Structure formats: C-alpha cells, structure tokens
Amino acid sequence: MAYGDFNGDKAVDFVTATSSNSNSKVIKIYLFDKSTDDFLVIYPCNPVHCYGSDTTIVNIIPVDINYDGMQDIIYITYESTSNTYTVNTLIQT
Ligand SMILES: [Ca+2]
Ligand SMILES: [Ca+2]
C-alpha cells in the first residue's frame, strides 16, 4: 500500500495491490471523497485482473513521473516463469 493525492484535492488517497490466489495482481486506487467521507475505488486495469497467475505485483510507488503536478504510479511486477522483474507505469491523463 502507498499513499498519495491522486486527484489533487489535497485529501490523502491510497493505492493497493490486492491479492488473488495468494499473488498480488490487482491495483486499486482509493480516492477519498470529502463530500461523502468515504473512498471511491478505481481499478486502473480493466478487466479487474490485470495479470495472470504467473505475475505478481511486488511494489507500488506513487510519484509524479511527468512533472505535470498530478500523481502517477510506478509499479514493479515479477513474472515467475521467466524470472523477470518489470517496471511499469500508470500515468494520469
Ligand atoms: Ca485526493
Ligand atoms: Ca503526473
């Protein structure tokens, strides 16, 4: 889990890589909605399961990659059959 303000409303949001079949495969962003005091859940990947059973999301790092003032996400995946780590990005548009 990592924290950041992904929609620029100055309320802290968070992002998780959730587990499925003991591996972390689904990235969810929880945006805090100040009007309802609750979180709105966003799945950046569609369909919900971004990766197959051989791939695990091992780390998530919120960062503004393109310096536009909006928080983006770097996440690292591990693919077990090829034994490789990959750095991936989710950039807000
Ligand atoms: Ca926010
Ligand atoms: Ca950005």
What values do phi and psi take at 19, rounded to 5?
-90, 145
Q: Output the pTM of the full model.
A: 0.80
Please tell me the distance between residue 93's alpha carbon and the centre of ligand 2 in angstroms. Answer: 8
For 13, 47, 54, 64, 72, the CA distances from 69, given in Å and listed in that order, are 15, 28, 34, 7, 9
For residues 68 and 43, what is the distance between their CA atoms, to the nearest angstrom?
A: 22
Identify the pLDDT of residue 71.
Answer: 92
In this model, does residue 51 exceed pLDDT 90?
A: no
Please tell me the distance between residue 82's alpha carbon and the centre of ligand 1 in angstroms. Answer: 37
Q: Which ligand number lies closest to the CA of residue 31? A: 1
Please tell me the distance between residue 3's alpha carbon and the centre of ligand 1 in angstroms. Answer: 10
CB-based contact 49:55 (threshold 8 Å): no
Identify the pLDDT of residue 19.
Answer: 61
For 36, 61, 67, the CA distances from 27, given in Å and listed in that order, are 23, 12, 22
Identify the pLDDT of residue 54.
Answer: 81
